[in-house]
Chains A and B, each alone.
Chain A
């Protein structure tokens, strides 16, 4: 029972991680809270939905296609809503990404309706039995994909030239510029990568929960924020581990705490507040200092 819940927790947590990585990457390079990030995830879920519905393509094509599409969406957001802003007004990016959120959410309600939509089963869900445990193949698969994406991202950031440029930009735009890094391009790329990950997460959430709605963005966005904080702002590895921790902690809280009360959300926001009060640099420290 506990073990089964742990798998569920890991699956949930891996999705939190994917969202949080996006937040943390963008916070790293731009120092801003990308408010519309959750809506990019939601957009990804619906894109995946329609690709599967219309083309019946297999998951290993649907997923990359969705990632490319949401990546493009992220890039458009940067070009239209972030880049034209003047640098001297620090709240402008927050407000303008709120504008993006409002647009995307309302468009989604118009296009897809305000209620939940059943997500097609792109792959067969086998429940295999190990001893007394039932384990869903979808859960294992989404967990596997998420972890694969995270490892790939980690290598990209730590080993490739572009990844190094990204880290340089998140240290200081000025220095990175002087070193010959094209800062604007790196920021654009970061939006692309962050949004692609959110898109992947959208599809996997659809698969795992079998339903999506225009409002799933906010739920996962809030969890992503908690995880970003847990891992330390701007800390990618921290976001990965933080997501898994939160996912498991939430699932365990359901097992351990009385079921008649919905304490799951209090639990994660409570963690967030405790961290803010006692350890604002997160569990693993930030690379970007507070400001």
Chain B
């Protein structure tokens, strides 16, 4: 049971992280630095709790806000570059953050930051955040800013010419993504009780991308699904436990060959609607 709870908590945190990647991704910005923002949130909230005795929720919000502010400043150079250049920029940022943390004695340097107050209800808090994100993203889809995000993501120049301020849209998306990642980091820190820079290396940022793209990028249920399933499934496939990572890699390649848009696409959602309306015998929309 404890094991189940721990896996579910981590899955919740990873959903938050996948969504933190997905938000800027909607506007066409691919970040390989989300683990860096997660680290800022984790260390920021840990400092609040340990050094200043600030309670859990405000500590995590402060950590998230710091990550959001850093996201804003990283977002500025990110405005001018695209594709592989942006990947490299965010990768460099994430690594720099990590190396900085390795060198700061105040937060334990390479030895890590121990003694973070343990949050009993991490599971609850992580899924409260997931719930908030579900509401946020489903409202976003039907809102002015959400439409602008999609427009900028699908054709930046056309969006700009018809009146979308792409500078502000991209900056907002990028820094909000940083904020969400920071919240994820804060919850993570208070669940682990101990954090160290190695926990936030670039391979973790890669993981968040994998969750997102595996799950599907056309609609926000995709990354949620991807993060949840890819965290939960390997844990339960005990039989294949030993080879699970290799299988995971192979699955990723096969996915990209057969269904590069991810498991959940717009077609899935439409299909589900059709099926459910048939079962219920009336039109759901």
Contact at A98–B206, with CB atoms within 8 Å?
Answer: yes
A269 CB, min distance to chain B CBs, angstroms? 4
Question: At the interface, yes or no: B250 with Cβ under 8 Å from chain A?
Answer: yes
Complex alpha-carbon distance, A27 and B253, angstroms: 19
Which chain B residues border A272 with CB–CB below 8 Å?
Answer: 88-89, 92
Q: Are A84 and B257 also in contact (CB < 8 A) when A225-B88, A266-B99 are?
A: yes
For B84, give its contact among A85, A86, A98, A233 (CB under 8 Å).
A233
Question: At the interface, yes or no: B102 with Cβ under 8 Å from chain A?
Answer: yes
| Of B59-67, B75-83, B115-123, B163-171, the one with at least 4 CB within 8 A of chain A | B75-83
Interface string of A236-274 (1 = CB under 8 A from B): 000000000000000000000000011101100110110
For A276, give its contact among B88, B102, B255, B260 (CB under 8 Å).
B88
Complex alpha-carbon distance, A265 and B209, angstroms: 24
A242 CB, min distance to chain B CBs, angstroms? 13
| Of B4-12, B144-152, B241-249, the one with at least 4 CB within 8 A of chain A | B241-249
Contact at B260–A106, with CB atoms within 8 Å?
Answer: no
Contact at A102–B209, with CB atoms within 8 Å?
Answer: no
Which chain B residues border A85 with CB–CB below 8 Å?
Answer: 256-257, 260
Contact at B95–A280, with CB atoms within 8 Å?
Answer: no
Which chain A residues border B261 with CB–CB below 8 Å?
Answer: 89
B34 CB, min distance to chain A CBs, angstroms? 15
Contact at A99–B92, with CB atoms within 8 Å?
Answer: no
Interface string of A67-79 (1 = CB under 8 A from B): 0000000000000
Complex alpha-carbon distance, A27 and B83, angstroms: 12
Complex alpha-carbon distance, A218 and B213, angstroms: 22
B210 CB, min distance to chain A CBs, angstroms? 6
Contact at B103–A261, with CB atoms within 8 Å?
Answer: yes
Interface string of B256-285 (1 = CB under 8 A from A): 110011000000000000000000000000
Q: Are A96 and B257 also in contact (CB < 8 A) when A269-B92, A269-B96 are?
A: yes
Which of A93, A101, A102 counts the most B-chain CB atoms under 10 A from its CB? Answer: A102
For A222, give its contact among B81, B82, B91 (CB under 8 Å).
B91
Question: At the interface, yes or no: B158 with Cβ under 8 Å from chain A?
Answer: no
Contact at B93–A99, with CB atoms within 8 Å?
Answer: no
Contact at B100–A98, with CB atoms within 8 Å?
Answer: no
Contact at B210–A270, with CB atoms within 8 Å?
Answer: no
Contact at A273–B252, with CB atoms within 8 Å?
Answer: no
Main secondary structure of the interface of B (DSSP, over half): helix
Contact at A280–B81, with CB atoms within 8 Å?
Answer: yes
Which of B84, B92, B210, B255 counts the most A-chain CB atoms under 10 A from its CB? Answer: B92
Interface string of B225-253 (1 = CB under 8 A from A): 00000000000000000000110111111
Contact at A100–B249, with CB atoms within 8 Å?
Answer: yes
Which chain B residues border A226 with CB–CB below 8 Å?
Answer: 92
Contact at B89–A273, with CB atoms within 8 Å?
Answer: yes
Main secondary structure of the interface of A (DSSP, over half): helix
Contact at B77–A273, with CB atoms within 8 Å?
Answer: yes
Q: Are A291 and B253 also in contact (CB < 8 A) when A261-B103, A276-B77 are?
A: no
Contact at A92–B245, with CB atoms within 8 Å?
Answer: no
Contact at A265–B260, with CB atoms within 8 Å?
Answer: no
Question: At the interface, yes or no: B219 with Cβ under 8 Å from chain A?
Answer: no
Question: At the interface, yes or no: A95 with Cβ under 8 Å from chain B?
Answer: yes
Question: At the interface, yes or no: B57 with Cβ under 8 Å from chain A?
Answer: no
Which chain B residues border A86 with CB–CB below 8 Å?
Answer: 257, 260
For B256, give its contact among A96, A265, A270, A273 (CB under 8 Å).
A96
Question: At the interface, yes or no: B131 with Cβ under 8 Å from chain A?
Answer: no
Q: Are A95 and B81 also in contact (CB < 8 A) when A106-B249, A269-B99 are?
A: no
Which of A96, A99, A263, A280 counts the most B-chain CB atoms under 10 A from its CB? Answer: A99
Complex alpha-carbon distance, A139 and B210, angstroms: 39
Contact at A276–B92, with CB atoms within 8 Å?
Answer: yes
Complex alpha-carbon distance, A95 and B213, angstroms: 8
Which chain A residues border B248 with CB–CB below 8 Å?
Answer: 99, 102
Complex alpha-carbon distance, A99 and B254, angstroms: 9
Question: At the interface, yes or no: B87 with Cβ under 8 Å from chain A?
Answer: yes
Complex alpha-carbon distance, A226 and B85, angstroms: 11
24 A-B residue pairs with CB within 8 Å: A84-B257, A86-B257, A89-B256, A91-B260, A95-B255, A96-B252, A96-B257, A98-B206, A99-B251, A100-B253, A102-B245, A225-B91, A226-B92, A263-B99, A265-B99, A269-B95, A270-B92, A272-B88, A273-B92, A276-B88, A276-B92, A280-B80, A290-B82, A290-B85
Residues of A within 8 A of B (CB): 27, 33, 35, 80-81, 84-86, 89-96, 98-103, 106-107, 218, 222, 225-226, 229, 233, 261-263, 265-266, 269-270, 272-273, 276-277, 280, 290-291
Q: A99-B249, A103-B249 are in contact. List 11 more A-B contacts (CB 8 A).
A: A89-B260, A90-B83, A91-B213, A92-B260, A99-B248, A102-B245, A261-B103, A263-B103, A269-B99, A272-B89, A276-B89
Closest 6 CB pairs of A and B: A99-B252, A102-B249, A103-B249, A89-B260, A99-B253, A106-B245
